[in-house]
Amino acid sequence: MTASLIADVDDVLSTTRAVRRRLDLDRRVPDDVIEQCVELARQAPIAKNVEQCRFVAVRDPELRAGLAALYRRAGNEIVLPRMAAAAREAGKAAKPTAQQRRNMASAMHLTEQLDAVPLLVLAGTIAPPPDEVVGPDASEFYGSVLPTVWSFQLALRSRGLGSSLTSMHLHFADEVAALLDLPDAFTQIALLPVAYTVGTDFRPAERTLPLDAVLHFDRWATTS
Ligand SMILES: Cc1cc2nc3c(=O)[nH]c(=O)nc-3n(C[C@H](O)[C@H](O)[C@H](O)COP(=O)(O)O)c2cc1C
């Protein structure tokens, strides 16, 4: 590996952010760019070496408007009321950080703009859902999709496009399935608004914990 390759990879890894406010809503996303990014994403790890992740790239304006309406409904009717209730319960002790407040404002902005985003990409799996929410089956189920989704986002970033991983639409998964004629065997996991970005300079996110709170060597309590 050359130093410049390492620097480029580090840059893509640290600056692939959830892009919501800086999506170019007027520029079409060519199919072949999405094809390249999905082809690359398929190199991500998959359990038992079985390819079960599937993408549906929604370009049609009417379908995008339908998805956006469901996303907005989920935000207004379910996510926002739950967040307000959680905030009331937690009181001042759980005051959101500046970064969390920025994220929330940006998430709300996306909710309002979603139908204008030129491409909405739904990702999911045809693997049977696990019986339990933790354990090896659950790990394989989600773990065979989310690394692929992240690789897709990295490939988009290196080509000047932005995206964000969202899941709010899952509150209305049945309605989304009906809208897009999804088969019963398909479980939706994420929805990614995709567009070229306005400018390509993005900064790493703030991570406030010290590294030794996140990384342990040998045993949990050992810090160095
Ligand atoms: C599983 C998962 C689901 C998410 N769902 C949503 C969502 O529905 N809407 C949203 O705006 N952000 C959602 N996010 C958060 C964004 O994708 C993003 O990670 C977060 O805002 C932090 O921004 P950053 O990635 O630029 O640091 C989700 C993230 C994850 C990992």
Whether the CB of 164 sits within 6 Å of ligand 1: yes
In a 13 Å sphere around the CA of 172, the CA atoms on its Cβ side amount to 21
Order of strands, sheet of 53-58, starting from the edge strand that comes earlier in the sequence? 53-58, 119-125, 187-196, 161-163
CA end-to-end span of the chain? 28
Whether the CB of 110 sits within 6 Å of ligand 1: yes
What separation in Å is there between the alpha carbon of 21 and the centre of ligand 1?
14
The domains of the chain, with CATH numbers, are 10-214 (3.40.109.10)
Whether the CB of 188 sits within 6 Å of ligand 1: no
Which one, of 61, 77, 70, lies nearest residue 174 by Cα?
70
| Alpha-carbon dihedral angle through residues 132, 135, 136, 139, given to the nearest 10 degrees | 80
- With the most atoms of ligand 1 within 8 angstroms of its CB, the residue from 12, 103, 122, 125 to mutate is 103
The structure's pTM equals 0.94
Please name the residue whose Cα sits nearest to atom 5 of ligand 1: 166
- With the most atoms of ligand 1 within 8 angstroms of its CB, the residue from 104, 122, 163, 166 to mutate is 166
The atom number, within ligand 1, closest to the CA of 20 reads: 11
* Residue 101's pLDDT band (cuts 50, 70, 90): confident
Handedness of CA 10, 12, 18, 19 (dihedral sign): positive
Residues near 157 by beta carbon (within 8 Å), at least 6 away in sequence: 12, 15, 16, 163
Whether the CB of 168 sits within 6 Å of ligand 1: yes
Is the per-residue pLDDT at 93 higher than 70? no
The atom number, within ligand 1, closest to the CA of 111 reads: 11
pLDDT value of residue 87? 82
What separation in Å is there between the alpha carbon of 222 and the centre of ligand 1?
31
Question: Helix, strand, or coil here: 181?
Answer: coil
Please name the residue whose Cα sits nearest to atom 4 of ligand 1: 166
* Residue 221's pLDDT band (cuts 50, 70, 90): confident
Whether the CB of 191 sits within 6 Å of ligand 1: no
- Going from the C-alpha of 173 to that of each of 70, 87, 221, the distances in angstroms are 9, 26, 41
Whether the CB of 80 sits within 6 Å of ligand 1: no
Which three-class secondary structure string do you get for 11-33? HHHHHCCECCCCECCCCCCCHHH
Question: Helix, strand, or coil here: 3?
Answer: helix
Give the number of other Cβ atoms within 10 Å of residue 219's Cβ: 7
pLDDT tens across 2-55, in order? 999 999 999 999 999 999 999 999 999 999 999 999 999 999 999 999 999 999
Is the per-residue pLDDT at 222 higher than 70? no
